[in-house]
């Protein structure tokens, strides 16, 4: 669906990464985070599979909706910086006035987001750091 340009309801892309042992290219759907023009992907299920391959290869191909391919260099973000980025991404959930207007007085940030990353928006900086250490974040720079 992604290469065909069919809307998925999320900023999903396909990431093609060469296997660290087999050398075979593997394709995995990931959510691309575009933060001020810088691309990031996070290993939602931890440092397994594609994240280990990306860590070893240091490069990948991103297939964007519509099929456009972009070769990228991948750099793992240090957990300290990853925690700051994660906190910044969730910053809009700290604005209760806007969300209350949109969602009503009993608002709550999207459960799917909170469940996926197992965090709450009122967590401490140490909680964000622990989350960033469990789920590696990679910066992708176009070649």
The pLDDT tens digits of the residues spanning 89-112 come to: 877 655 555 545 665 555 555 444
- pLDDT exceeds cutoff 60 at 14: yes
Q: What are phi and psi of 79, to 5 degrees?
A: -55, -35
110 contacts 116 by C-beta, under 8 angstroms: no
Residue 139's H or E segment, with its range, is strand 137-142
Would you list the domain boundaries of the chain? 12-142
CATH homologous superfamily of 12-142 equals Electron Transport, Fmn-binding Protein; Chain A (2.30.110.10)
pLDDT tens per residue across span 15-44 = 999 999 999 999 999 888 888 889 999 887
Number of H helices, E strands in the chain: 5, 7
d(C-alpha 14, C-alpha 97), whole Å: 35
């Amino acid at each position: 669906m992604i290469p065909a340009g069919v809307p998925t309801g999320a900023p999903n892309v396909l990431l093609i990464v060469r296997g660290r042992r087999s050398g075979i290219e593997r394709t995995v759907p990931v959510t691309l985070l575009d933060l001020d023009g810088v691309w990031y992907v996070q290993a939602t299920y931890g440092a397994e599979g594609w994240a280990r391959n990306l860590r070893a290869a240091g490069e990948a191909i991103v297939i964007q909706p519509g099929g456009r391919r972009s070769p990228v260099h991948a750099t793992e973000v240090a957990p300290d910086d990853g925690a700051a980025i994660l906190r910044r991404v969730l910053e809009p959930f700290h604005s209760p006035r806007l969300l209350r207007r949109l969602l009503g007085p009993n608002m709550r940030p999207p459960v799917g987001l909170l469940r996926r990353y197992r965090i709450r928006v009122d967590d401490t900086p140490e909680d964000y750091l622990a989350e960033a250490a469990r789920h590696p974040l990679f910066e992708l720079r176009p070649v």
